[in-house]
Structure 1
């Protein structure tokens, strides 16, 4: 057995090289995995009461071969055997084998991206340098996969742990057992300070507003985070066309939305009883129609172009042919221990009918209760809005005009508080439902939050627009939402992160003066875990809803969102780099379920804008002058709505989801993979089977 030599000092790897003594890494037997340098990738934080022999056993399982139920990784005890942390690295062969299991594409020596194969590894470029062949995020995710793959090959007891807490059954997941027994408290990837500093200088510290270092973001933080910031960047600059249209409507159609224009009818225009400038505006296509049709076209083109960009990034980052893996039970899944009929492994089992009962009898009523609270808040908003409106009509002063916005502001604060409370409740409900797979858990959690978010943010606007039919109130409500959200967002995205980083959360503030290198891991572990991108996607989805559903009544929506998102990009980048631990980020092919949510909102926007057109005073005056009955108007509106949906579908069909060059590259990858599989099958056929049969 050959031993890994002590690692060379590496700037930005938390000073681990100076902490670790020689001959402290676990041993490897594969000659190609022997290296003069080991890269620390992941830190495992143990409970304070873990015994040294328990820690030694955990390290032995981490370094054991996968055939023996281990992870095939490298483990280091840190300062000493009693230190409550384990540093984990990955040997070359483990990195390459998991890369093949994930289905990642890598560049061969000719520069073509092809699906990686361990048996054909010599065909790929940079195969001898893992830091160039795999990104830091990919190497750290490989370690996570290895830890989760550990399974007991027989019944055994964890050394130093008494009672049922230390019993491991055959084929049981070792890593999940250690987590549920509270022996492992946390696992997180280590930050690379030098790379992180360089990334920050190019990302949130740059003076230019255009562009982001997406490849560096992907290399350091991984696919899911890189796709979020790519979408945020693409969405932000896609707001420029609707912002220009909104400015044109607002400042070049000065009579937009005024009470005088709203009262104009077709007979007034015919009788020349209005001024020439208003008359010209009325005889042309109104700003409402322009904004409504433009919003429908823009939302469709935007999502289709994003699909193309997403496909290009997926190819560039080697994720276009990811393998769909059989999902292991999530750490929070509980149940009676039994044999999984699919895998034959020992794991918790929980009947589906019990889960459905929990969903139907607990989750659904609680969600309906919160929707009822939304309705209650809406009724309160209407009540105080009526009081303030009557008070303003009685006085007519500037002060009362300003105070008339108070009901909207109060209701916005109420909805935000209710939304924050509901997110915690939704997560607790999803935990209670006890989903086995992580994907099922995320889908149910996302569905709960999306239903409530849509209702909480848009119910009042829909009710005002389609029931009360008061476009002026919709305009006032939407402007209040956008302006207040701007103020809150600037405070939370810029001021608060700076104060927290400056005075509270900086890891360097926790370093000891006598031994800062040894204390670096403890300082990094004191940072809070990254909360994920769920809230960030929700914020963008609400923005997209305001713009696509109701911007026709307030054309400056896109302008305010554009100004907000320019700050949002830098604020989110600053937070993820400075305020949180580095998260694990799996390879991704796109935004996943969020893309479907945005597309669904785009279809709803067609219906919303079509019916808002019906409420326009000019359209009402035209239908009344033409002598159309309400039933006839409804039929025409449905026909127009269906025509717009057909136009939307035609636009989506005309814009391919993939650029031609990406489609060709993907088909080449699929062809080469299929050809390689067929050649391997031929090689495995015995020679005797290839001989002709004797007559």
Structure 2
């Protein structure tokens, strides 16, 4: 192939086995059937079978997570209409400060009644419990997966299989006098790779800054230049949606860039085996993809609305554009909007292109070869009608099946990697920011039901047959999933503690609200919370007048206002932070520490409670070891017995000779 003598090489599909898999597995009508994992293993190898086994197990365990997430969503839906927080926003007469410079006017808090309702759907008490559940669920899923996997790999007799030994065996088969590739480590290469990885991450983070700036500019442009009033009034929400779409486009483009960079960096490391190269590539690619997908979400979750400043002291980009602010109901809705758009777009378009691309390519190739095939069939019929002794069909007819396989989509060693990467990224979305999007497990479940059959149809009908490869685990992906489980604990704790209004509401309820004294009866403890979170900026302050023009301080009904409100815990006189701000900050930190420690304890208990292998598998392997040791001992004894007999025979012969000599001397 290096000399361009051959164009490609690939495995042929076996018609009988292919037809059986199509009927029982690789078709859309089998979406709710079980998977014939053993048949998949026999046809596509253990590596592919373990992928589908893992995907099926992941999909199965998403069912309880989806149900609980749906219950949390319905809980928010059932009680949000009676919440005093919603009533306070929808019936408020509070005038809020302009959201942008020059053209934006003051606005009434009640204008964002619907936004407040959506916020409470995902920012309620049930979200906290669900986030804790999902953090523990990630660990339980992994532990049960290890147990589930061991049953199959034990039945396939690959439990103790070693990938490095397999590569050595292949080298010996090709060259009986081969030498193993020695392990090497170069500090220079490692330093170069580390520097390049850091630079790549900085580039990705830089793209996140570009997305943030584009959202800020889009907010200003929509507020100033839009001819539609609904867009002008909701410019920030529209900008968040546009930013999410732009983020998805960035993810699509950067995926190809990340793939190329990760591959080149893995080649620079010059690992000693293909397995080591694959592990290195997988880790780098996942890190790049993780930063590409989550950098913007991290900004939205932990920085949006917290570094924008205040009237008279706004933080601006290049001294011109103000940073975005959060809604008075909280910042979690912005994170929810971005998460939902990215997740829905990613799963929808990925599935569409993943199926339509190979299908159209196969159709195009077959269309081009249609004329050739008709001629081939004609030739076949002609030869069949005039059969003579010793006559043979033409070579084209013999190679018809080869051409059919050649028209399928090309596969390589990265084909299965791409499927794993897609699902692991989805696992990240499902667990890391689930506190902001309780419906993420449900969307993942619906997607995976389709994904299993889509991948099956691709591998059996639309793509060339993958080279069967042995495996006894999903490899480095297990470590990646465990790392995601740890990140899920940290991220969800930070989302609830920092992004959510859960802690400020608790502090208000027990320290600043009507129930703080303990004597209030017949009144909801959260009455007055929204007003408590707002500070006032007076137009009489010179610093405020520098940020807002006189035309901006006029309502749409033509009323001039002397002050406006904004979301923050600051003094109305000098904009200094109030004592309540520091109390809430301390409560946030305490909650984050408690949340993460409690969840980590639960994760450790779950990890200890679930065995890594079923008892029958463990006992069976114990008996196998015992039988193997007995067999080795029997062989060793069998090898020693002839030697002992020979030694014993020599000893008897020697004693007989000595006895004869002694008798001869005695007779003399």
TM-score grouping bracket, smaller chain normalisation = 0.5 to 0.7
Query: Which residue is 1:492 aligned to?
Result: 353
Instruction: Please give the residue correspondences for 1:286-305 in structure 2 after superposition, counting only pairs within 5 Å.
Output: 286-305=125-144
Deviation at 1:613, TM superposition (A): 1.9
* C-alpha spacing 1:241/1:356, structure 2 compared with 1 (3 Å): same
Q: CA deviation at 1:403?
A: 5.7
Query: 1 CA distance for matches of 2:459 and 2:495?
Result: 40
Task: Give the whole-Å Cα distance in 2 for the aligned partners of 1:204 and 1:663.
Answer: 33
CA drift at 1:519: 4.2
In structure 1, C-alpha distance between the alignment counterparts of 2:80 and 2:130, rounded to whole Å: 13
Residue in structure 1 matched with residue 618 of structure 2 by the alignment: 663
Correspondences of 1:487-636 after superposition (within 5 Å) = 487-504=348-365, 511=373, 512-513=376-377, 514=379, 515-525=396-406, 527=408, 528-530=410-412, 531-615=414-498, 616-623=500-507, 625-626=510-511, 628=583, 630-631=585-586, 633-636=588-591
- Aligned counterpart, 1:358: 189
Distance 2:194 2:361 in 1: 38
Alignment of 1:410-449 (within 5 A): 410-449=246-285
Report how many residues are paired.
493
Match 2:158 to one of 301, 319, 332: 319
Report what 2:303 is aligned to. 467
Between 525-534 and 476-485, report the one with greater CA deviation.
525-534
Paired residue for 2:12?
190
Distance in structure 1 (CA, Å) of the matches to 2:462 and 2:219: 45
> Among 600, 603, 628, which residue is 1:673 paired with?
628
How far is 1:345 from its partner?
A: 4.7
Deviation for aligned residue 1:405: 0.9
Equivalent pair of 1:507/1:524 in contact (CA under 8 Å): no
Q: List aligned pairs for 1:46-61, cutoff 5 A.
A: none
Larger mean CA deviation between 667-676 and 380-389 belongs to: 380-389
2: CA distance, partners of 1:349 / 1:213: 38
8 Å Cα contact 1:46/1:186 also seen in 2: no
Q: Which moved more, 1:557-566 or 1:543-552?
A: 557-566
- Report if aligned partners of 2:219, 2:239 keep a CA contact under 8 Å in 1: no
Q: Which structure 1 segments of 5+ residues have no match?
A: 1-44, 50-83, 85-184, 269-273, 334-342
Structural RMSD (CA)? 3.8
Question: Partners in 2 of 1:547 and 1:637 — Cα distance?
Answer: 20
Structure 2: distance between partners of 1:244 and 1:539: 23
Question: Shift in Å at residue 358 of structure 1?
Answer: 2.9
CA distance in 2, matches of 1:676, 1:195: 37
Matched, 1:221 2:44: yes
Match of 2:606 in 1: 651
Aligned-pair distance for 1:632? 6.0
* Cα deviation, residue 670, structure 1: 1.7
Counterparts in 2 of 1:198 and 1:386: CA distance versus 1, 3 Å: same
* Cα distance, 1:546 vs structure 2: 0.8
Q: 1:629/1:520 Cα in 2 relative to 1: closer, same or farther (>3 Å)?
A: closer
Q: CA deviation at 1:583?
A: 2.1
Residue of structure 2 in register with 1:70 after alignment: none
* 1:263/1:617 contact within 8 Å kept: no
> Counterpart in 1 of 2:199?
369
Query: What CA deviation, in whole Å up to 9, does each residue of 1:274-324 have, x standing for no partner?
Result: 9xxx9xx99x97122122112112212211221111111112222223256
Distance 1:330 1:371, change over 3 A: farther
Structure 1 distance, partners of 2:52, 2:368, is: 25
Structure 1: distance between partners of 2:47 and 2:183: 32
Unaligned runs of 5+ in 2: 93-112, 307-330, 380-395, 512-579, 656-668
| Whole-Å separation in 2 of the counterparts to 1:207 and 1:605 | 35
Aligned to 2:208: 378
**What TM-score comes out, normalization by structure 1 length?**
0.64
Indicate conservation of the 8 Å contact 1:547/1:557, yes or no. yes
Q: Distance in 2 between matches of 1:254 and 1:206?
A: 34
Following superposition, the deviation at residue 190 of structure 1 comes to 3.0
Change (3 A) 1:536 1:330: farther
Residues 317 and 261 of structure 1: CA distance in aligned 2, closer, same or farther (over 3 Å): farther
Where does 1:157-196 land on structure 2 (aligned, <5 Å)? 187-196=9-18
Whether the 8 Å CA contact 1:329–1:437 is kept in 2: the answer is no
Q: Secondary structure at the match of 2:485?
A: helix
CA–CA separation in structure 2 for the residues paired with 1:255 and 1:308: 39
Give, in whole Å, the separation in 2 of the partners of 1:392 and 1:254.
Answer: 31
1:479 aligns with 2:340: yes
Structure 1 residue 606 displacement after superposition:
1.1
Mapped pair 1:409 → 2:245: yes
The verdict on how the C-alpha distance between 1:219 and 1:382 changes in structure 2, with shifts beyond 3 A counting, is: same
The answer as to 2:81 corresponding to 1:251 is no
Q: What TM-score do the two structures reach when normalised by structure 2?
A: 0.66
1:229-244 aligned at under 5 Å gives the runs 229-244=52-67
Is contact 1:188–1:582 with CA below 8 Å preserved after alignment?
yes
SS in 2 for 1:583: coil
Q: Does 1:397 align with 2:230?
A: yes
Aligned to 1:31: none
The separation in 2 between residues aligned to 1:237 and 1:506, in whole angstroms, is 40
Structure 1's 508 and 256: CA in aligned 2 closer, same or farther, altered over 3 A? farther
User: 2:69 touches 2:441 (CA, 8 Å); kept in 1?
Assistant: yes
Residues 629, 689 of structure 1: CA spacing in aligned structure 2 closer, same or farther, 3 A cutoff?
farther
Return the alpha-carbon distance in structure 1 between the equivalents of residues 333 and 589 of structure 2: 23
Output one character per residue of 1:502-545: Cα deviation in whole Å (capped at 9) or x when no partner.
33369985753333223433553464234421111111111111
